[in-house]
Structure 1
Amino acid sequence: MLKEIQHVQATADRLYSEAEVEAALDKMAETINRSLADRNPLLLCVMNGGIVMSGKLIPRLTMPLEIDAINASRYRNQTSGSCLEWKLKPGTPLAGRTVLILDDILDEGITLKAIVAYCLEQGATEVLSAVLIDKKLDHKKPITADFVGLETENRYLFGYGMDYKGYLRNAAGIYACKETI
Protein backbone atom coordinates (compact mmCIF):
# COMPACT_ATOMS: atom_id res chain seq x y z
CA MET A 1 0.00 0.00 0.00
CA LEU A 2 2.79 2.42 0.87
CA LYS A 3 4.28 2.14 -2.64
CA GLU A 4 0.88 2.94 -4.17
CA ILE A 5 0.50 6.02 -1.92
CA GLN A 6 4.02 7.20 -2.73
CA HIS A 7 3.35 6.77 -6.46
CA VAL A 8 0.05 8.70 -6.29
CA GLN A 9 1.73 11.50 -4.36
CA ALA A 10 4.75 11.68 -6.69
CA THR A 11 2.68 11.81 -9.89
CA ALA A 12 -0.17 14.10 -8.75
CA ASP A 13 -0.90 17.52 -10.21
CA ARG A 14 -0.95 20.39 -7.72
CA LEU A 15 -4.13 22.38 -8.31
CA TYR A 16 -3.77 24.83 -5.39
CA SER A 17 -0.72 25.67 -3.29
CA GLU A 18 -0.85 25.93 0.48
CA ALA A 19 -0.80 29.74 0.17
CA GLU A 20 -3.75 29.69 -2.24
CA VAL A 21 -5.76 27.43 0.07
CA GLU A 22 -5.00 29.62 3.09
CA ALA A 23 -6.09 32.74 1.16
CA ALA A 24 -9.36 30.98 0.24
CA LEU A 25 -9.91 30.12 3.92
CA ASP A 26 -9.35 33.79 4.82
CA LYS A 27 -12.03 34.87 2.34
CA MET A 28 -14.46 32.18 3.44
CA ALA A 29 -13.97 33.16 7.10
CA GLU A 30 -14.70 36.82 6.30
CA THR A 31 -17.97 35.86 4.63
CA ILE A 32 -18.98 33.49 7.44
CA ASN A 33 -18.12 36.13 10.06
CA ARG A 34 -20.42 38.63 8.34
CA SER A 35 -23.22 36.12 7.80
CA LEU A 36 -23.28 34.44 11.21
CA ALA A 37 -22.11 37.22 13.53
CA ASP A 38 -25.30 37.26 15.61
CA ARG A 39 -26.48 33.64 15.29
CA ASN A 40 -24.56 31.66 17.97
CA PRO A 41 -23.82 28.84 15.51
CA LEU A 42 -23.01 25.24 16.28
CA LEU A 43 -20.23 24.11 13.95
CA LEU A 44 -20.25 20.46 12.94
CA CYS A 45 -16.97 19.13 11.60
CA VAL A 46 -17.61 16.27 9.17
CA MET A 47 -15.10 13.60 10.12
CA ASN A 48 -12.57 12.68 8.84
CA GLY A 49 -12.25 14.90 5.80
CA GLY A 50 -13.33 18.09 7.53
CA ILE A 51 -10.65 17.92 10.25
CA VAL A 52 -7.98 19.97 8.48
CA MET A 53 -10.38 22.52 6.99
CA SER A 54 -12.18 22.96 10.32
CA GLY A 55 -8.93 23.29 12.24
CA LYS A 56 -7.74 25.99 9.88
CA LEU A 57 -11.08 27.82 9.55
CA ILE A 58 -12.37 27.90 13.14
CA PRO A 59 -9.58 30.16 14.54
CA ARG A 60 -10.46 32.67 11.81
CA LEU A 61 -14.07 32.92 13.02
CA THR A 62 -14.81 35.74 15.45
CA MET A 63 -18.36 35.08 16.67
CA PRO A 64 -19.30 33.05 19.73
CA LEU A 65 -19.75 29.45 18.59
CA GLU A 66 -19.77 25.85 19.72
CA ILE A 67 -18.05 22.94 18.03
CA ASP A 68 -19.07 19.31 17.63
CA ALA A 69 -18.52 16.56 15.06
CA ILE A 70 -20.48 14.24 12.84
CA ASN A 71 -19.30 11.29 10.79
CA ALA A 72 -21.29 9.87 7.93
CA SER A 73 -19.30 8.20 5.20
CA ARG A 74 -19.84 6.51 1.88
CA TYR A 75 -16.18 5.84 1.05
CA ARG A 76 -14.65 3.86 3.96
CA ASN A 77 -11.07 4.61 2.81
CA GLN A 78 -11.84 3.64 -0.78
CA THR A 79 -12.02 5.85 -3.87
CA SER A 80 -15.76 5.33 -4.39
CA GLY A 81 -18.71 4.52 -2.18
CA SER A 82 -22.33 3.57 -2.07
CA CYS A 83 -24.53 3.40 1.04
CA LEU A 84 -24.17 5.90 3.85
CA GLU A 85 -22.75 4.66 7.16
CA TRP A 86 -23.37 6.78 10.30
CA LYS A 87 -20.34 6.50 12.58
CA LEU A 88 -20.82 9.50 14.89
CA LYS A 89 -23.71 11.82 15.63
CA PRO A 90 -23.25 15.10 17.52
CA GLY A 91 -23.65 15.11 21.28
CA THR A 92 -24.72 18.75 21.34
CA PRO A 93 -28.49 19.27 20.95
CA LEU A 94 -29.33 20.77 17.54
CA ALA A 95 -32.87 21.95 18.35
CA GLY A 96 -33.32 25.66 17.86
CA ARG A 97 -29.77 26.16 16.60
CA THR A 98 -28.12 27.52 13.50
CA VAL A 99 -25.83 24.70 12.39
CA LEU A 100 -22.83 25.23 10.14
CA ILE A 101 -21.52 22.01 8.62
CA LEU A 102 -17.79 22.09 7.83
CA ASP A 103 -16.49 19.64 5.24
CA ASP A 104 -13.55 19.22 2.92
CA ILE A 105 -15.35 18.74 -0.39
CA LEU A 106 -18.74 18.90 -2.04
CA ASP A 107 -18.49 16.10 -4.58
CA GLU A 108 -21.74 14.31 -5.48
CA GLY A 109 -23.55 15.95 -2.53
CA ILE A 110 -25.18 12.77 -1.24
CA THR A 111 -23.46 12.78 2.16
CA LEU A 112 -23.91 16.52 2.72
CA LYS A 113 -27.59 16.29 1.82
CA ALA A 114 -28.07 13.46 4.34
CA ILE A 115 -26.27 15.41 7.08
CA VAL A 116 -28.40 18.51 6.44
CA ALA A 117 -31.56 16.38 6.58
CA TYR A 118 -30.40 14.81 9.86
CA CYS A 119 -29.77 18.25 11.41
CA LEU A 120 -33.22 19.48 10.38
CA GLU A 121 -34.82 16.30 11.76
CA GLN A 122 -33.09 17.06 15.08
CA GLY A 123 -34.77 20.48 15.17
CA ALA A 124 -32.08 22.82 13.84
CA THR A 125 -33.72 26.07 12.75
CA GLU A 126 -31.15 26.71 10.04
CA VAL A 127 -28.50 24.48 8.48
CA LEU A 128 -25.71 25.97 6.40
CA SER A 129 -22.62 24.36 4.93
CA ALA A 130 -19.06 25.44 4.27
CA VAL A 131 -16.79 23.36 2.05
CA LEU A 132 -13.20 23.91 1.13
CA ILE A 133 -13.67 22.49 -2.38
CA ASP A 134 -16.71 22.45 -4.65
CA LYS A 135 -16.02 19.94 -7.39
CA LYS A 136 -17.60 20.93 -10.70
CA LEU A 137 -19.54 18.04 -12.21
CA ASP A 138 -21.38 17.70 -15.51
CA HIS A 139 -24.70 17.14 -13.72
CA LYS A 140 -26.75 18.93 -11.07
CA LYS A 141 -26.00 18.07 -7.45
CA PRO A 142 -28.81 17.50 -4.93
CA ILE A 143 -27.43 20.30 -2.70
CA THR A 144 -25.22 23.37 -2.91
CA ALA A 145 -22.84 24.72 -0.28
CA ASP A 146 -23.49 28.11 1.30
CA PHE A 147 -19.79 28.95 1.67
CA VAL A 148 -17.15 27.68 -0.77
CA GLY A 149 -13.40 28.12 -0.61
CA LEU A 150 -12.27 26.88 -4.03
CA GLU A 151 -13.61 25.09 -7.09
CA THR A 152 -11.98 22.26 -9.00
CA GLU A 153 -12.52 20.17 -12.04
CA ASN A 154 -13.88 16.64 -11.69
CA ARG A 155 -10.74 14.73 -10.71
CA TYR A 156 -9.86 12.62 -7.69
CA LEU A 157 -8.37 14.99 -5.11
CA PHE A 158 -6.28 14.76 -1.96
CA GLY A 159 -4.78 17.17 0.56
CA TYR A 160 -6.16 19.52 3.24
CA GLY A 161 -8.31 16.71 4.63
CA MET A 162 -9.23 14.98 1.38
CA ASP A 163 -7.73 11.53 1.13
CA TYR A 164 -6.58 8.85 -1.21
CA LYS A 165 -7.62 5.52 0.39
CA GLY A 166 -7.28 7.06 3.87
CA TYR A 167 -3.85 8.60 3.18
CA LEU A 168 -2.52 12.00 2.06
CA ARG A 169 -5.04 14.10 4.05
CA ASN A 170 -2.01 15.95 5.41
CA ALA A 171 -0.72 17.15 2.01
CA ALA A 172 -0.13 20.91 2.11
CA GLY A 173 -2.13 21.96 -0.93
CA ILE A 174 -4.84 20.49 -3.12
CA TYR A 175 -3.69 17.77 -5.50
CA ALA A 176 -5.36 15.75 -8.25
CA CYS A 177 -4.38 12.19 -9.01
CA LYS A 178 -2.68 11.89 -12.37
CA GLU A 179 -4.17 8.54 -13.31
CA THR A 180 -7.79 7.47 -13.33
CA ILE A 181 -8.67 5.79 -10.05
Structure 2
Amino acid sequence: MLDSLKILYTRDQIAEQVRRLGSEINRDYAGREILLVCVLKGSFLFFADLVRTLTCPVVVDFVRLASYGCETISSGVVEMRKDLEFSVTDRDVVIVEDIVDTGYTLQTLYHRLLDRKPRSLKICTLLDKRVDRRVDIEADYIGLALDDGFVVGYGLDYQEKYRELPDLYVLEDAPPVDEERPI
Protein backbone atom coordinates (compact mmCIF):
# COMPACT_ATOMS: atom_id res chain seq x y z
CA MET A 1 0.00 0.00 0.00
CA LEU A 2 3.04 2.29 -0.03
CA ASP A 3 2.05 3.33 -3.56
CA SER A 4 -0.91 5.27 -2.08
CA LEU A 5 1.50 7.28 0.09
CA LYS A 6 2.98 10.53 -1.14
CA ILE A 7 5.97 11.90 0.77
CA LEU A 8 5.23 15.15 2.54
CA TYR A 9 8.27 15.69 4.80
CA THR A 10 11.46 13.63 4.91
CA ARG A 11 13.10 12.40 8.12
CA ASP A 12 15.80 15.05 7.64
CA GLN A 13 13.23 17.84 7.38
CA ILE A 14 11.46 16.49 10.46
CA ALA A 15 14.73 16.25 12.43
CA GLU A 16 15.60 19.85 11.53
CA GLN A 17 12.24 21.08 12.86
CA VAL A 18 12.52 18.98 16.03
CA ARG A 19 15.95 20.54 16.72
CA ARG A 20 14.52 24.03 16.12
CA LEU A 21 11.60 23.38 18.47
CA GLY A 22 13.98 22.02 21.11
CA SER A 23 16.10 25.18 20.82
CA GLU A 24 13.04 27.38 21.29
CA ILE A 25 11.91 25.44 24.36
CA ASN A 26 15.46 25.48 25.78
CA ARG A 27 15.55 29.25 25.33
CA ASP A 28 12.15 29.81 26.94
CA TYR A 29 12.77 27.51 29.91
CA ALA A 30 16.50 27.94 30.49
CA GLY A 31 17.34 26.78 34.01
CA ARG A 32 13.73 25.85 34.81
CA GLU A 33 12.26 22.39 35.08
CA ILE A 34 9.43 21.61 32.69
CA LEU A 35 6.83 18.88 32.70
CA LEU A 36 6.43 17.58 29.15
CA VAL A 37 3.10 15.88 28.50
CA CYS A 38 3.04 13.46 25.57
CA VAL A 39 -0.36 12.93 23.96
CA LEU A 40 -0.45 9.22 23.07
CA LYS A 41 -0.27 7.45 20.73
CA GLY A 42 0.67 9.52 17.71
CA SER A 43 3.16 11.81 19.44
CA PHE A 44 5.47 9.16 20.89
CA LEU A 45 8.25 9.34 18.26
CA PHE A 46 8.16 13.13 18.04
CA PHE A 47 8.12 13.32 21.85
CA ALA A 48 11.17 11.03 22.23
CA ASP A 49 13.16 12.97 19.65
CA LEU A 50 12.16 16.31 21.18
CA VAL A 51 13.13 15.23 24.71
CA ARG A 52 16.62 14.32 23.46
CA THR A 53 17.14 17.90 22.19
CA LEU A 54 16.36 19.53 25.53
CA THR A 55 19.02 20.78 27.91
CA CYS A 56 16.69 22.16 30.59
CA PRO A 57 15.56 19.79 33.36
CA VAL A 58 12.63 17.67 32.14
CA VAL A 59 9.99 15.48 33.76
CA VAL A 60 7.90 13.42 31.33
CA ASP A 61 4.34 12.20 31.60
CA PHE A 62 1.71 10.80 29.25
CA VAL A 63 -2.00 11.16 28.56
CA ARG A 64 -4.25 9.26 26.23
CA LEU A 65 -7.53 10.67 25.01
CA ALA A 66 -10.23 9.31 22.73
CA SER A 67 -13.26 10.76 21.04
CA TYR A 68 -14.03 7.98 18.60
CA GLY A 69 -14.62 4.69 20.34
CA CYS A 70 -14.82 2.18 17.49
CA GLU A 71 -16.12 4.65 14.93
CA THR A 72 -14.33 6.75 12.30
CA ILE A 73 -16.40 9.82 13.14
CA SER A 74 -15.94 11.61 16.45
CA SER A 75 -18.53 11.06 19.12
CA GLY A 76 -17.91 14.65 20.22
CA VAL A 77 -17.16 13.50 23.76
CA VAL A 78 -13.48 13.45 24.68
CA GLU A 79 -12.66 10.63 27.07
CA MET A 80 -9.50 10.56 29.20
CA ARG A 81 -8.19 7.02 28.87
CA LYS A 82 -4.91 7.65 30.70
CA ASP A 83 -4.44 10.64 32.98
CA LEU A 84 -1.21 12.19 34.21
CA GLU A 85 0.71 10.62 37.07
CA PHE A 86 2.33 13.91 38.14
CA SER A 87 0.64 17.04 39.41
CA VAL A 88 0.81 20.09 37.14
CA THR A 89 0.06 22.57 39.95
CA ASP A 90 2.63 25.39 40.03
CA ARG A 91 4.71 23.74 37.27
CA ASP A 92 5.74 24.84 33.81
CA VAL A 93 3.94 22.42 31.49
CA VAL A 94 4.28 21.83 27.74
CA ILE A 95 1.76 19.60 25.97
CA VAL A 96 3.43 17.75 23.07
CA GLU A 97 1.02 16.83 20.28
CA ASP A 98 1.58 15.21 16.89
CA ILE A 99 -0.98 17.22 14.89
CA VAL A 100 -3.47 19.97 15.63
CA ASP A 101 -6.31 20.00 13.15
CA THR A 102 -9.88 20.66 14.38
CA GLY A 103 -8.48 21.27 17.85
CA TYR A 104 -11.36 19.71 19.80
CA THR A 105 -9.28 17.10 21.62
CA LEU A 106 -6.40 19.46 22.33
CA GLN A 107 -8.72 22.19 23.59
CA THR A 108 -10.31 19.72 26.01
CA LEU A 109 -6.92 18.61 27.33
CA TYR A 110 -5.64 22.19 27.56
CA HIS A 111 -8.59 23.31 29.71
CA ARG A 112 -8.44 20.20 31.91
CA LEU A 113 -4.79 20.92 32.66
CA LEU A 114 -5.40 24.66 33.05
CA ASP A 115 -8.01 23.87 35.74
CA ARG A 116 -5.20 22.16 37.70
CA LYS A 117 -3.38 25.50 38.01
CA PRO A 118 0.01 25.11 36.32
CA ARG A 119 2.48 28.01 36.54
CA SER A 120 2.48 28.07 32.74
CA LEU A 121 0.90 25.90 30.05
CA LYS A 122 2.05 25.81 26.43
CA ILE A 123 1.48 23.60 23.42
CA CYS A 124 4.09 22.15 21.07
CA THR A 125 2.95 20.42 17.88
CA LEU A 126 4.82 18.78 15.07
CA LEU A 127 2.08 19.51 12.51
CA ASP A 128 -0.32 22.45 12.37
CA LYS A 129 -3.32 21.95 10.08
CA ARG A 130 -5.17 25.25 10.39
CA VAL A 131 -7.53 24.63 7.49
CA ASP A 132 -9.55 22.22 9.65
CA ARG A 133 -9.45 24.26 12.90
CA ARG A 134 -12.90 24.50 14.45
CA VAL A 135 -12.03 25.90 17.88
CA ASP A 136 -9.89 28.76 19.10
CA ILE A 137 -6.69 26.98 20.10
CA GLU A 138 -3.19 27.66 18.83
CA ALA A 139 0.13 25.99 19.48
CA ASP A 140 2.98 28.01 20.97
CA TYR A 141 5.63 25.90 19.22
CA ILE A 142 4.90 24.73 15.67
CA GLY A 143 7.10 22.40 13.67
CA LEU A 144 5.56 22.13 10.21
CA ALA A 145 2.49 23.49 8.46
CA LEU A 146 0.04 21.25 6.67
CA ASP A 147 -2.52 22.50 4.18
CA ASP A 148 -4.61 19.42 3.66
CA GLY A 149 -4.49 15.65 3.60
CA PHE A 150 -4.40 12.73 6.00
CA VAL A 151 -0.84 12.29 7.27
CA VAL A 152 0.83 9.05 8.39
CA GLY A 153 4.32 8.01 9.45
CA TYR A 154 6.64 9.16 12.24
CA GLY A 155 4.16 7.90 14.83
CA LEU A 156 0.95 8.96 13.08
CA ASP A 157 -1.30 6.18 11.88
CA TYR A 158 -4.27 5.17 9.83
CA GLN A 159 -6.09 2.27 11.49
CA GLU A 160 -2.92 1.52 13.53
CA LYS A 161 -0.77 1.20 10.37
CA TYR A 162 2.22 3.26 9.18
CA ARG A 163 3.44 4.52 12.59
CA GLU A 164 6.87 2.95 11.94
CA LEU A 165 7.61 4.95 8.78
CA PRO A 166 10.47 7.41 9.41
CA ASP A 167 9.10 10.08 7.04
CA LEU A 168 5.70 11.82 6.93
CA TYR A 169 3.36 10.90 4.06
CA VAL A 170 -0.05 11.94 2.82
CA LEU A 171 -2.30 8.91 2.56
CA GLU A 172 -3.93 9.67 -0.77
CA ASP A 173 -6.82 7.19 -0.57
CA ALA A 174 -7.82 7.66 3.07
CA PRO A 175 -11.51 8.31 3.61
CA PRO A 176 -12.31 11.76 5.01
CA VAL A 177 -12.67 12.01 8.77
CA ASP A 178 -14.77 14.37 10.83
CA GLU A 179 -12.25 15.11 13.59
CA GLU A 180 -8.75 14.29 14.73
CA ARG A 181 -7.79 10.66 14.33
CA PRO A 182 -8.33 8.34 17.26
CA ILE A 183 -5.45 8.73 19.69
Give yes or no for TM over 0.5: yes
For residue 148 of structure 1, report the CA deviation from its aligned partner.
0.7
Are residues 1:55 and 2:48 paired?
yes
User: Which position in structure 1 is the counterpart of 2:60?
Assistant: 67
Q: Deviations over 1:101-139 (max 9, x none)?
A: 011111111111111111111121211010110013065
- Does the 8 Å contact 2:107/2:135 carry over to 1? no
Give the number of equivalent residue pairs: 174
Q: Any stretches of 5+ residues in structure 2 without a counterpart?
A: 176-183
- RMSD value over aligned CA atoms? 1.7
CA distance 1:136–1:126, change in 2 (3 Å)? same
For residue 180 of structure 1, report the CA deviation from its aligned partner.
4.5
Are residues 1:174 and 2:164 paired?
no
Instruction: State the alpha-carbon separation in 2 of the partners of residues 77 and 135 from structure 1.
Output: 24
Instruction: State the alpha-carbon separation in 2 of the partners of residues 128 and 104 from structure 1.
Output: 14
Q: Which has the higher helix share?
A: 1
In the TM superposition, 1:27-106 aligns within 5 A as: 27-76=20-69, 79-82=72-75, 83-106=77-100
Q: Any stretches of 5+ residues in structure 1 without a counterpart?
A: 1-6
Instruction: State the alpha-carbon separation in 1 of the partners of residues 113 and 133 from structure 2.
Output: 26
Instruction: State the alpha-carbon separation in 2 of the partners of residues 30 and 141 from structure 1.
Output: 28
CA distance 1:68–1:180, change in 2 (3 Å)? closer
Q: Deviations over 1:147-168 (max 9, x none)?
A: 0110111211111121101221
User: Which position in structure 2 is the counterpart of 1:130?
Assistant: 124
Are residues 1:17 and 2:7 paired?
no
Instruction: State the alpha-carbon separation in 2 of the partners of residues 166 and 42 from structure 1.
Output: 28
- With structure 1 as the length reference, what TM-score do the two structures score? 0.89
CA distance 1:128–1:94, change in 2 (3 Å)? same
Instruction: State the alpha-carbon separation in 1 of the partners of residues 36 and 52 from structure 2.
Output: 12
Q: For residue 43 of structure 1, give the secondary structure of its aligned residue in structure 2.
A: strand
CA distance 1:131–1:139, change in 2 (3 Å)? closer
Q: Deviations over 1:64-109 (max 9, x none)?
A: 1111111112245765423212101101011111110011111111
- Does the 8 Å contact 1:29/1:57 carry over to 2? yes
Q: For residue 112 of structure 1, give the secondary structure of its aligned residue in structure 2.
A: helix
- Does the 8 Å contact 2:103/2:133 carry over to 1? no
